[in-house]
Structure 1
């Protein structure tokens, strides 16, 4: 050890942690600085962390969970009505995020449910639809995730809507997602005007059947392979899916042309898909559901399998806790607005599309899609910094989704509740913004993070499951 009297005779060595201002100031004076990337844990999590970290099951359970995620496949095998694929009966509606009832539903979710009631012929007017939904007469609501499905934004799926069906043969899983309507005034953003309903009817009468015919003629489509290519072509898989959409169309176009359907119908479908850069999002999402869902139910695992929002609450699920929801009030995205809309018009975070970040792309892969900042806000350095930061809270990397700008490093995969608690770093999500008033539609796009309370609640639950006398008792909740 250097005596204190010698400090002035030797070169100074400085290590800093926390606020960057001190390190920046020293560096500007040509003083060498080693910056230690250390953050205090989320306040109040210390005892629960001790329980979970002491659980001998945790390390092997997380290794198994990550292995299952990385081994997952995702192939488009069919396109079917939700009544056939998901067993939905008249009056049954799926929605995005954790469970919610009509009284607590957000404006966009209410708008989407009203539109679905009219689309299904269960109500003739918005007022009649609202009355039936409010009373619950002949109507039931359930999260998409409870049926193995995912839904963007409001996420409403009704029996007559058509869905993509994807398979993961490695883990024997199946997942579904509705067909993408495009942007602007659409049902998933809570709009229900006559043109919205007409588009849904066309999708059920023309788009769905032609896509089914093409998929069945062609055979399985490797969606995971397309996602792998698109993240190397400037897409991040959540708010930018341009390359993915065109690659899907390339796969299906020959069989659409050879289907024997009238050329006008085929042209209509091709024009709709090619003109909708978000069309492939609804295939990325069930691919993500298959990947993360493969880890569900692995005892002792602290990896996140679901992040989802219903416009009121944000909810997560964790592998070691099965399908139990951990919820907290959803935050409102911060970003760029369309036209004259502003922050006062935006609803809190909504949609199952955060499954993209749960699988390691979307906001986690912004480094590979610098153009996304023009849609959701921020800067290119922000995008690079965000992707690097997400490695701090994940258990591994997915080589299937290599990020070129990061020397083809695999996408950060397997959000670990313990790492979130230990670092205080929250997952970064980029998302669309729905208008808070039912019927408005999309008002913008931006960036948002989950509430920390979801992760601390999950950590407490894991700690309760881990307790076997090897660690101190949990703090009193009283």
Structure 2
């Protein structure tokens, strides 16, 4: 005989399944398009001249430590909001400069993820659902970058070049002619990228798309010089596309967020203190736990003792079927982050156990063009004890990038989210 509780539980399970289908359809049906480039202060919702954004679930200013705290202070100096790090700290303490999370402003941040009002951002709109996401520019191949907690005249000059040269060139190139990103990203997977730690093919495809537009701009000596510099930057920096894959993933994940009863993940983020996840059916709350475990390759001269957590949100790519969910597309990652291709295949295949579907557009050649695992289900993570695999870079205590590898999130953030789900939807199986 079926009990009342069993009937209620079956109904709750049916509601969750239906909600997950809706969230998944929104996720795989998203159509991210690069529509423009602009200064963050001109387009990011809620951005003010005295706002600095940084990666991760929101923290109060005193909670920021180490390289992430340094990067925020350096951002204030770069923006001209303070004359020194000490001055910046005093002004933040006094409320004259506001520190906010990128997640509170539809933005996505690489490592420390520093945004100031003058910094240029990519503007990516999901044409299927109408939401927009933003990501700032890649700073260049030097391992010393503001987003890795470093700052000197060279870093400042690089940031200013992005603002005064690259941004105007790209903005003019995009005027009235947006670029659909999804087809480019799908092709890049087939050409050896996974669109988190490897973006070589995607950067080349973007450069090919932009080349005739750039040539059309080079009609005066001034513009020709700018265009040549931008072309040289593309040629020297395979990671240029990463910021577009992040913005596309953010727009995609946001499209799937806010579906009542859905248990699908729509965000993962790291700050200096913790790893956190967001769930479609649980509002804007972030559920927090310890930092992921590191399995990586350190650059020459560095060890695990030199590593430091200073933030990072490029793992948004994993929430939409990219990065670690497409690792088998990118065997060349072995040279960058260590491991073997067989281990990459096994790791990638294991992700199907915690996801709801196979992506209809993002395919893995090594799996016979099987779709990438997409739609991480909170309940599947709890049931299996397996957390999403993340590709990522490693920051050093003295600034800069010192290595790369696999990040395996601990289960705490997911159990916290599961408890919140059970409380919000008390007749669900999670209770």
Q: TM-score, normalised by structure 1?
A: 0.84
**Is the 1:92–1:158 contact (alpha carbons within 8 Å) kept by the matching residues of 2?**
yes
CA–CA distance in structure 2, aligned partners of residues 56 and 364 of structure 1? 27
Shift of 1:436: 2.7
Question: Does the Cα contact within 8 Å between 1:74 and 1:224 map onto a contact in 2?
Answer: yes
1:146-225 paired onto structure 2 within 5 Å: 146-183=104-141, 184-216=143-175, 219-225=177-183
For residue 98 of structure 1, the aligned residue among 48, 51, 57 is 57
Distance in 2 (alpha carbons) for counterparts of 1:117 and 1:52: 54
Give the root-mean-square deviation of aligned CA atoms. 1.8
In structure 2, the partner of 1:325 is: 286
Structure 2: gaps spanning 5 or more residues:
1-7
Matched with 1:370 is 331
User: Among 116, 139, 147, which residue is 2:97 paired with?
Assistant: 139
State the SS of the aligned residue for 2:213: helix
5+ residue gaps, structure 1, are 1-49
Match of 1:113 in 2: 72
- 2:334 is equivalent to residue 389 of structure 1: no
Shift of 1:51: 6.8
| Separation (CA, whole Å) in 2 of partners of 1:258 and 1:410 | 38
The structural deviation recorded for 1:147 is 1.2
Larger Rg: 1
DSSP 3-state at the match of 1:290: helix
Q: Quick one: which of 297, 303, 309 aligns to 2:264?
A: 303
Deviation at residue 312 of structure 1 after TM alignment? 1.5
C-alpha separation between the residues in 2 aligned to 1:151 and 1:356? Answer: 12
Structure 1 residue 359: Cα displacement: 1.0
Determine if the alignment matches structure 1 residue 444 to structure 2 residue 403. Answer: yes
Superimposed CA distance per residue, residues 84-141 of structure 1 (whole angstroms, 9 cap, x where no aligned partner): 11142122111111012332223221222122111110122233223433x2431212
Deviation at 1:305, TM superposition (A): 0.2
| Contact 2:260–2:282 (8 Å) recurs in 1 | yes
- Give the corresponding residue for 1:44: none
Residues 413-460 of structure 1: per-residue CA shift (max 9 Å, x gap): 0000000000111111110111134xx111111111122111111111
User: How many residue pairs get matched?
Assistant: 419
Do the aligned partners of 1:108 and 1:441 also contact (CA within 8 Å) in 2?
Answer: no
- Tell me, in whole angstroms, the C-alpha distance in 1 between the residues paired with 2:77 and 2:230: 24
Q: Which residue of 1 aligns with 2:377?
A: 416
CA contact (8 A) 1:51 1:467 kept: no
Per-residue CA deviations over 1:18-37 (Å, capped at 9, x if unaligned) read xxxxxxxxxxxxxxxxxxxx
- Normalising by structure 2, what TM-score? 0.93
Which residue of structure 2 aligns with residue 465 of structure 1?
A: 424
Q: Distance in 2 between the 1:449 and 1:248 partners? A: 31
Is the 8 Å Cα contact of residues 165 and 176 (structure 1) preserved in structure 2? yes
Pairwise CA distance, 1:52? 9.8
Alignment of 1:273-288 (within 5 A): 273-288=234-249
Q: Report 1:24-35 matches (<5 A).
A: none
Structure 2 Cα separation of the partners of residues 137 and 173 of structure 1 = 31
- Separation in 2 of the partners of 1:467 and 1:339? 52
TM superposition shift of 1:71? 0.7
- Say which SS state the counterpart of residue 270 (structure 2) adopts: strand
Instruction: Pick one of 165, 178, 197 that aligns with 1:239.
Output: 197
Q: In the alignment, what sits opposite 1:33?
A: none
Q: 1:52 to 1:89 in 2, by over 3 A?
A: farther
Query: How many Å apart are 1:349 and its aligned residue?
Result: 6.7
Q: Deviations over 1:44-91 (max 9, x none)?
A: xxxxxx979944310100011111111100110000000011142122
Distance 1:442 1:78, change over 3 A: same
1:246-261 residue pairs with structure 2 within 5 A?
Answer: 246-259=204-217, 260=219, 261=222
Alpha-carbon contact 2:290-2:413 (below 8 Å) kept: no
Spell out, residue by residue over 1:175-221, the C-alpha distance to the aligned partner (whole angstroms, 9 max, x if none). Answer: 1100111230011111111110111111111111111001115x011
CA distance in 2, matches of 1:341, 1:123: 33
The 10-residue stretch of structure 1 (345-354 or 392-401) with the greater mean CA deviation from structure 2? 345-354
Aligned-partner SS, 2:374 = strand
Tell me which of 269, 274, 277 is aligned to 1:316.
Answer: 277
1:426 aligns with 2:414: no
* Matches of 1:417 and 1:187, distance apart in 2: 34
